[in-house]
Structure 1
Amino acid sequence: MAVTLHDVASLAGVSIKTVSNVVNESPNVTASTRARVLAAVDELGYQPNLSARSLRSGRTGAIGLVVPELSLSYFAELADAVIRAAEARRLAVLIEQTNGDREREIEVLSSPRMKFTDGVLFSPLGMGMDDADRLRVPYPLVLLGERIFGGPTDHVTMHNVEAARAATAYLIASGRRRIAVLGAHPGEVIGSAGLRLVGYRRALDDAGIAFDADLVAATTLWHRANGAVAMRDLLSRGVDFDAVFGLNDTLALGGMRVLQESGRRVPDDVAVIGFDDLDEAGYSLPSLTTVDPGRREIAERAVAALVERIGGAAVPPREILAEYRVVERESARALAH
């Protein structure tokens, strides 16, 4: 037989209402009574009926996280950070994957499954600025990523332009002048690739270095294999370069492998910097210099913003930017003079 509130109340010597107040974290219970009830809960192994509680409160105790692709390390590590931030608030996280497909993203926004959450963190990849009005959904929603700006929801993102500018400036300060880029998306303006390329070009302008389109290698996806293909393309075209900026870490790691296979030494012949500060970046050989865009802060502030909206916060949509830093490791360092 399942343990009931009545069983806990009998053991603790209190009313059923008092047990309910403790289980539902009501502040109107003395510390000594709360301790006695919790001891009884532990002794009996009582498990609250979450479905019944949800019906009474109108809350599920869960939030949704919608991401493009968990096989991409950035989104896997972001999901981990979101789960940790949610657990600290006693919330579960339900994850949906869209594969970056616009139609799938739109479908998920209107999916009945969203009813099983109190609110959603949404990171689109296929949708764009023309889809901003689709974010007007009947539940709390916080936007992540760089596909839509100025929309009707809170938006937690990173300093893409400034962080990419800092990464490129770091290479320039180390004495590099011919800096190749892996991962550009031709014609993209809004989006990680477009914004980071803007930051790259601004750093070149700051240093008085002319932009050379031959140094920019385009890719579709941002996987290691794409970084490797882009690097082979640069090498096959005979492009002269002394540094590489991978627009994310996985591109940089794929490109670095090809450089080493070609006999080029990293960082002596070619310096390499990435973007994202993935866990594996610290364990590559050489370890990867990169940009930490504030992933943990993004997760924490996004969950906090969503919890505020779930609680009824009625303020205008906010854009929240995480802080970034260049993480110095072995793949890029100052040239010896």
Structure 2
Amino acid sequence: MTDVAQRAGVSVKTVSNVVNDYPHIRPATREKVQKAIDELGYRMNLAARNLRQGTTGIIGLAVPELSLPYFAELADSVMRAAEARGLVVLIEQTGASRQHELDVLTSERRQLTDGLIFSPLGLGPDDADELKVPYPLVVLGERIFGGDWDHVTMNNVDGARAATQHLIDRGRRRIAVAGAHAGETMGSAALRVLGYQAALAANGIPFDPALVIEGGLWHRATGADCVYQLLDAGTEFDAVFGLNDALALGALHALHARRVDIPRKVAVVGFDDTEEAAYSAPTLSSIAPGREQIADTAVDLLMQRIAGSAEPFRRVVADFTLEARESTAD
């Protein structure tokens, strides 16, 4: 900065004002300093500036698995929301492992970030104390409710109910579920099955446990396996609700492989409205859970906490819409 000041014939303070975009600088002075910066190839020492300001300009994002389309697209949305606010995002994936999630919360990398947006799958309600961290935190998802942190989530129950109602409105009565998690009481699978059951009950359709097929990780292969189980068992069904789009896309694959007409014989709906849903064959009806709203809200809440906000912690539930496509066409 001293070299730039000497080249431009101004004070070091004037150079500082220019590089920090101080508004009250004469255009001629700004032009002279900028010319010296360009000639010398000067770059601001961001580490030193951030040290003075007490922030790094970097936030963390921890998600279970970037190979799952929803989390990949969520990460993209968070990065774009952060960039629009002058922030950089450090992304980590935990593999939905409880230990890896604990490691993320206590990692030395937290010294590099001003705060963390955290989407846990391995941690549960009994781990709430683990989230009492000494830095700004925004939690995504359904795993942990309450506590001294902001929480942004999607409307799983009502979204799943809408997906099921969409199928019922098209005359479907034997609606299978792909990807349930046995024994789960809190989490996306449990909440979406609750929404499914609520829609059945509201329409006087008996709940049949044989139609709820369990699956582990919500990958395409899991969705295909769920449908193969139904077909091989001879279970009668006229629709499939994949608890996420990857499961639903796997279900489409299995139905194609067994030459089952979609949607005439079996209609299919997913959840998450990932980009792939609009380009599958047939295109996939899906619940859009408000991904952009989730990303924008999470970044804004985190920025407020980084800035020292003492407002009460918030729980925000994003809006959802149903995107009807060919897989459930009349």
TM-score by length of 2: 0.95
One-letter identity of the residue aligned with 1:129: P
One-letter identity of the residue aligned with 1:317: F
1:224-303 equivalences in 2 (<5 Å): 224-303=220-299
1:199-218 equivalences in 2 (<5 Å): 199-218=195-214
The Cα of 1:22 is off from its aligned counterpart by 3.5
SS in 1 for 2:284: coil
One-letter identity of the residue aligned with 2:277: A
One-letter identity of the residue aligned with 1:112: E
Name 1:83's counterpart in structure 2: 79
Structure 1 unaligned blocks of 5 or more: none
TM-aligned CA distance change 1:133 to 1:33, over 3 Å: farther
Query: What CA deviation, in whole Å up to 9, does each residue of 1:44-89 have, x standing for no partner?
Result: 5432111211221111110001111111111111111111111111
Contact 2:63 2:71 survives alignment (8 Å) = yes
Runs of 4+ in 1 over 6 A off after TM superposition: none
2:24 paired with 1:29: yes
- 181-190 or 47-56, larger mean C-alpha shift: 47-56
One-letter identity of the residue aligned with 1:264: V
User: In 2, Cα distance between the equivalents of 1:104 and 1:20?
Assistant: 42
Query: What CA deviation, in whole Å up to 9, does each residue of 1:257-306 have, x standing for no partner?
Result: 10111111111111000001111111110011101001111111101110
One-letter identity of the residue aligned with 1:307: M
User: In 2, Cα distance between the equivalents of 1:172 and 1:147?
Assistant: 29
The Cα of 1:104 is off from its aligned counterpart by 1.3
User: In 1, Cα distance between the equivalents of 2:260 and 2:218?
Assistant: 23
SS in 1 for 2:271: coil
Contact 1:132 1:152 survives alignment (8 Å) = no
Contact 1:286 1:331 survives alignment (8 Å) = yes
User: In 1, Cα distance between the equivalents of 2:26 and 2:317?
Assistant: 40
2:21 paired with 1:16: no
User: In 1, Cα distance between the equivalents of 2:28 and 2:61?
Assistant: 37
The Cα of 1:18 is off from its aligned counterpart by 2.8
Contact 1:142 1:155 survives alignment (8 Å) = yes
User: In 1, Cα distance between the equivalents of 2:200 and 2:38?
Assistant: 62
SS in 2 for 1:107: helix
Name 2:121's counterpart in structure 1: 125
SS in 2 for 1:331: helix
SS in 1 for 2:328: coil
The Cα of 1:24 is off from its aligned counterpart by 3.0
User: In 1, Cα distance between the equivalents of 2:34 and 2:314?
Assistant: 39
TM-aligned CA distance change 1:31 to 1:275, over 3 Å: farther
One-letter identity of the residue aligned with 1:160: N
Count residues in correspondence. Answer: 329
One-letter identity of the residue aligned with 2:125: M
Between the aligned residues of both structures, percent identity stands at: 58
Contact 1:133 1:152 survives alignment (8 Å) = no
Query: What CA deviation, in whole Å up to 9, does each residue of 1:2-45 have, x standing for no partner?
Result: xxx2344455554322332343344x534737853556545654
1:1-337 equivalences in 2 (<5 Å): 5-10=1-6, 14-26=10-22, 29-30=24-25, 32=27, 36=31, 37-38=33-34, 41-42=37-38, 44-334=40-330
TM-aligned CA distance change 1:33 to 1:294, over 3 Å: farther
User: In 2, Cα distance between the equivalents of 1:72 and 1:34?
Assistant: 51
TM-aligned CA distance change 1:205 to 1:38, over 3 Å: farther
User: In 2, Cα distance between the equivalents of 1:12 and 1:179?
Assistant: 74
Contact 1:144 1:157 survives alignment (8 Å) = yes
Contact 2:174 2:237 survives alignment (8 Å) = yes
Contact 1:185 1:193 survives alignment (8 Å) = yes
Contact 1:182 1:216 survives alignment (8 Å) = yes
Contact 2:74 2:295 survives alignment (8 Å) = yes
